[in-house]
Amino acid sequence: LDDLLGEGVSGRRVLVRADLNVPLDKQSGEITDDGRIRAVLPTLSALVQAGAKVVVCSHLGRPKGAPDPQFSLRPVAGRLGELLGAPVRFAEDTVGDSARSTVEGLADGQVALLENLRFNKGETSKDDAERGAFADQLAAFGDAYVDDAFGAVHRKHASVHDVPARLPHVAGRLVLREVEVLGKLTGDPERPYVVVLGGSKVSDKLAVIEALLPKVDRLLIGGGMCFTFLKAQGHEVGTSLLEKEMVETCGNLLERSGGKIMLPVDVVVADAFAPDAAHDVVPADGIPSHRLGLDIGPETVAGFAAALSQARTIFWNGPMGVFEMAAFANGTRGVAEAITKADAFSVVGGGDSAAAVRALGLDESSFGHISTGGGASLEYLEGKTLPGIAALEN
Ligand code: 3PG
């Protein structure tokens, strides 16, 4: 971004790809966590101050290539305006008449937000020509392009992968910081290096587990995915989340891990997936057949906290339990607090873990870095080539 600012952007149209994919309350439609909007402010403010005509674009949720009001970015435009301290002009479409007139009407230092990129088939199309045609339309709104959508750099989508081929392109402040911080973890992290993984599915995390195992000193596993590992250890898991087809793979990982993988020794089981369900702490090898695990237990939290207290580098992705329900939030809270107390460089990766940090009222500044990327941060740690980063480097 500094390179672009150095050239001077006053009066130039700068197209900024942001990741404004924020969680919305299902009933009220209100933004429940504006972390991703805040994260892009440094880039947007710098462009506004330099007098650019700033055209912001983003996806929200996963609409199916056509307008769908529940995924409109309109509420985000309002919040972005509040945070920037100046109204943000909202275009009712992404590349149509409304977008064109909104962009044409921008004064220097003003900001516009286009409607959801994914209301257009071309954004996510696997067909290069279809994506390219959409990228042409988007690129027409900018004299330069800034990618500050770290959460989306792992997607080979038009706005991330194809627009930079059409315009002078640079990384925004957020993308740069994310890459610098995550690069520390893929480089030569200070040891012990402890990774905590949670979340619901092992299948989503398999590649990152495979990639991280040789590099880490300890891998602590909680969240819904721990039950497939417990099953692989020969324990019954009742009606807990279980990926049957992954049990054998988890068994292999445990065998190959050389004792690095730590699993829960106790869990909180409930009668139902409900905030007021009756619940108890049971040993991990004593889950009753009719109950389901919704959090890690206190003995596990203590064990994980002890491992984390030794760490010099920590990466955490995925909640330890259903933290949205108070009865099942203690595991996530306990692990998060242990991370903040450790004398370590800590990185929180993933929309859910970042949202958990904020929802549980934890002090964000006591973590080294809270990544805005979920899948993106995991794929970065796996060492994959990320289409959005590759496009900037090209
Ligand atoms: C995310 O939430 O991880 C990013 O915004 C990417 O969203 P996606 O998984 O729908 O591509």
**CA-wise closest residue to 184 among 300, 11, 306, 347:** 347
Check the annotation: does 36 bind a ligand. yes
> What's the CA gap between 54 and 51, in Å, rounded?
9
Residue among 155, 204, 370 to mutate when testing ligand 1 (max atoms within 8 A of CB): 155
DSSP letter for each residue of 121-140: HHHH-S-HHHHHHHHHHHHT
Q: CATH 3.40.50.1260: which residues of the chain?
A: 2-175, 188-382
**CA-wise closest residue to 388 among 7, 81, 94, 59:** 59
Up-side HSE of residue 70: CA atoms within 13 Å toward CB? 10
Q: Is residue 376 within a helix (H) or strand (E), and if so which, with residue range?
A: helix 375-382
Check the annotation: does 244 bind a ligand. no
What is the predicted pLDDT for the residue at 323? 94
Q: Which atom of ligand 1 is nearest to the CA of 350?
A: 3
Pocket lined around ligand 1, Cβ cut-off 6 Å:
19, 21, 62, 151-152, 155, 351, 374-375
DSSP letter for each residue of 227-265: HHHHHHTT---TTS---GGGHHHHHHHHHHTTT-EE--S
Check the annotation: does 205 bind a ligand. yes
Read off the DSSP letter of residue 159: I
> What's the CA gap between 17 and 326, in Å, rounded?
36
What is the predicted pLDDT for the residue at 390? 97
Ligand 1 mean position, distance from CA 21 (Å): 7
| Residue minimizing CA distance to atom 7 of ligand 1 | 152
What is the predicted pLDDT for the residue at 176? 97
What pTM, to 2 d.p., does this model score?
Answer: 0.91
Check the annotation: does 100 bind a ligand. no
Q: Which atom of ligand 1 is nearest to the CA of 375?
A: 3
Set 222, 334, 374, 375: catalytic member: 375
**pLDDT tens digits in sequence order for the chain, 394 residues long:** 999 999 999 999 999 999 999 999 988 999 988 999 999 999 999 999 999 999 999 999 999 999 999 999 999 999 999 999 999 999 999 999 999 999 999 999 999 999 999 999 999 999 999 999 999 999 999 999 999 999 999 999 999 999 999 999 999 999 999 999 999 999 899 999 999 999 988 998 999 999 999 999 999 999 999 999 999 999 999 999 999 999 999 999 999 999 999 999 999 999 999 999 999 999 999 999 999 999 999 999 999 999 999 999 999 999 999 999 999 999 999 999 999 999 999 999 977 888 889 888 899 899 999 999 999 999 999 999 999 999 999 7
Give the list of residues 6+ apart from residue 184 with CB closer than 8 angstroms, or none. 313, 345
Set 351, 373, 374, 388: catalytic member: 351
What is the predicted pLDDT for the residue at 351? 73
Ligand 1 mean position, distance from CA 62 (Å): 8
The CA distances from residue 48 to 82, 104, 331, in Å, are 14, 16, 42
Q: Which atom of ligand 1 is nearest to the CA of 62?
A: 10
Whether 351 is catalytic is yes
State the fold for domain 188-382: Rossmann fold (3.40.50)
Q: Is residue 333 within a helix (H) or strand (E), and if so which, with residue range?
A: helix 330-341
| Residue minimizing CA distance to atom 9 of ligand 1 | 375
Ligand 1 mean position, distance from CA 375 (Å): 7
Whether 201 is catalytic is yes
Secondary structure (3-state) at 368:
coil
Whether 17 is catalytic is no
Q: What is the CATH number of domain 2-175?
A: 3.40.50.1260
Check the annotation: does 353 bind a ligand. yes
Q: Is residue 225 within a helix (H) or strand (E), and if so which, with residue range?
A: none
- Read off the tokens for 178: 């994310």
What is the predicted pLDDT for the residue at 339? 97
> What's the CA gap between 160 and 139, in Å, rounded?
11
Set 38, 100, 166, 201: catalytic member: 201
> What's the CA gap between 391 and 143, in Å, rounded?
17
ipTM of the complex: 0.99
Residue among 19, 20, 21, 123 to mutate when testing ligand 1 (max atoms within 8 A of CB): 21
Ligand 1 mean position, distance from CA 225 (Å): 20
| Residue minimizing CA distance to atom 6 of ligand 1 | 152
Looking at the DSSP bridge assignments, the partners of residue 279 are: 270
- Read off the tokens for 70: 């529940």
Secondary structure (3-state) at 16:
strand
Check the annotation: does 81 bind a ligand. no
Ligand 1 mean position, distance from CA 13 (Å): 26
Cis peptide before 214 (omega within 30 of 0): no
What is the predicted pLDDT for the residue at 166? 98
Ligand 1 mean position, distance from CA 68 (Å): 17
What is the predicted pLDDT for the residue at 350? 77
3-state helix, strand, coil in the chain (%, to 5): 45, 15, 40
